[in-house]
Structures are given as structure tokens and as C-alpha cells.
Structure 1
């Protein structure tokens, strides 16, 4: 069996910077442990806060799969029906969240992507998406998937298009 994984490089360099002082002192310009909210295209929000094990995710104790994507990315479009099936198959135990990343993207870009790709999972848009990506250490290519268990503890991450069978097997390991 041959598995071909592909992804799209990030189009922008709009990332938070680390200021390095000459006396070997590093100062972060952003506090990534601060609480933040992901804003979904349907008007709902998801409150989150980074901690030492992952994130505190206010989603009623369900596991969460975050799929970072850009609308211009063909592999992201290929990943959408797989994520739809994952959301449907694990709807009682897992929430799938699409996280729109890139420069100059709007709520309309997220909605058009959802319509064009028949997306059935929630899509987050807004500046908090970049904050979230940076809190993870940056997202350099899409699609990028990161999964957290029901307690918000980091479980696994993937770059590129991931076959449904692999995601299903991995998600079943959480439960």
C-alpha cells in the first residue's frame, strides 16, 4: 500500500515574533496562555486556554479535532469530506473544528469554503485562529490536524491529507 501525504505551505509570514536581546534573554511578545475564543461562522464560540498538557476547551468534555486549512489549498478541499465523515461517525464523542488560517481571509471566505465543500463541521474564523496557531508553535502548512482528548490533553497531530481509515483508527484510541 502506498500512502501519499501532501499539504500546502503557508502563504503568509504573519506570525508572532520572538524578540532576542543581546544578553541572551528571550522575551515572548505574546502570552499564549491567555484565554481566547474561536468564533464560528454560525455565530457560536468555543472558549479555550492553553495549559501545560494541551488546552482547556469548553466543549462539554468531548474530544476535539482541529483541522487548520486555507480555502486556496486543494489538499484542504480533499480533506473536507473525510472530516465530514469523522464528525458524523464520532458525533457523540468528538467535535471537528475547521480553523481558517491565512492573510486577509474573511467570514465570507469560510462560508464559501463550507458551501463549496459541503462542510458539516463547524468552521472558526477571525484573528483568534492565528493566535491559536501560534500558541501551537505555528502552523507552517495546511492541512494540519491536531487532536485533543476529552480533557483537552494533546493526543496527536498530522500534516497533509490523512486518510479516513488512519484518522478513525487514531480517534478510536482516545476512547
Structure 2
């Protein structure tokens, strides 16, 4: 019984804390700017089908070309992260529920993944939201202040203003409530 309890607690901690690499975290900490010195630039993200999305910094967040006047959830993830995979059905539900006024832009933080591999991942998981892939994704992660754990999400209102963020696996109901607040 003790074994199962320990196993359950360990898995729960991993699931709710998200995935990270201690070595990667130490390397990122050395290279991170403080929020006061953070230089935010326009970044052009590429979705896996070749469409460009311009991420434009604003005073209080980001706007995304093609998604003006929409609430945007930016989701940083990897395909190997169990909590990232566990969130997929919830993100699919939210995208479907709010499709008229809301968009999810998932930013893949993996190197050497081809668009074809990610397209297969999309098809296998029946994903109905945007996934970007490329070296620009890492630049964008720096522009938002650095991403140390995944999944990591930012919610921006219709004007591109920061609303909230989420670290680790988050209940769908919590994100849903936050979306309703900014709609």
C-alpha cells in the first residue's frame, strides 16, 4: 500500500508541475534577462502548414496577426511531455467551445521536429488549434520572459493585454472561467 501511495504522489507532482530539465533550467537562468531589461521584439512564428503569425509586443502583452480582436491562449509545449499530452483534449474542447472569439497558438519547444512529424501528431490527437514549429519559437519564449517548465500558457485579452498564465497541467474549468472573464 505504501508503494502505491508513493507512486501516486510522485506521479501527481510530475503531472501538476509540468516537465522541465534541471540542466536546461540552469542554462536558461544564466541567459535570462530581468523583466526590467527584457527586450521584446516582433517575432514571426510559422505554423506547421507554412502560415506566418506575427507576434507583436505591446505595452502589456502581445497581439497576433490574423487574430485581432480575439482572446489568445499561447501554449508552450513538447510532444514528449506527459502533462502536455494530457492537456490536449481540454484545449481541443476550449477551442471548439469558443472558436468564434478565441484561438489557441501552441508553440513547440523541441528542436529537430519536422513539420510532417507534427502534422502526424496533430492528426493522431485530432488537434483543432494552431501549432507553430521552428527556431523562432525559442526566440518567442525568450520574449515572453523565458519558459522554464512546460506546459506553460499565457492568456491575452482581445487587445493583446496579458490576463494570466498557467504553469503545469491546469483543469479545463479554470481556463474556461478565465476565458469568460476576458471575453
Normalised TM-score (structure 1): 0.83
Q: Relative to total residues, which structure has the larger helix share, 1 or 2?
A: 2
CA RMSD in angstroms comes to 2.4
Choose between structure 1 and 2: higher strand proportion.
1
Partner of 1:111: 119
Of 173, 179, 182, which aligns to 1:171? 179
Q: CA–CA distance in 1 between the matches of 2:150 and 2:32?
A: 23
Cα distance in 1 for partners of 2:178, 2:64 equals 20
Partner Cα separation in structure 2 for residue 141 and residue 113 of structure 1:
21
Q: Could you state the TM-score of these two structures normalised by the residue count of structure 2?
A: 0.79
Alignment of 1:1-80 (within 5 A): 5-10=16-21, 13=24, 15=28, 17=31, 32-58=39-65, 59-80=67-88
Is 1:125–2:133 an aligned residue pair? yes
Deviation at 1:148, TM superposition (A): 0.5
Count of equivalent residues: 163
Runs of 4+ displaced beyond 4 Å: none
Q: Which moved more, 1:64-73 or 1:102-111?
A: 102-111
- Secondary structure of 1:72's match? coil
Q: Once the 2 structures are TM-superposed, how far is the Cα of residue 17 of structure 1 from its aligned partner?
A: 2.7
Q: Structure 1: 5+ residue runs without aligned partners?
A: 20-27
**Inter-partner Cα distance in structure 2 for 1:128 and 1:36:** 7
Unaligned runs of 5+ in 2: 1-11
Q: In structure 1, which of residues 152, 158, 163 is the aligned counterpart of residue 166 of structure 2?
A: 158
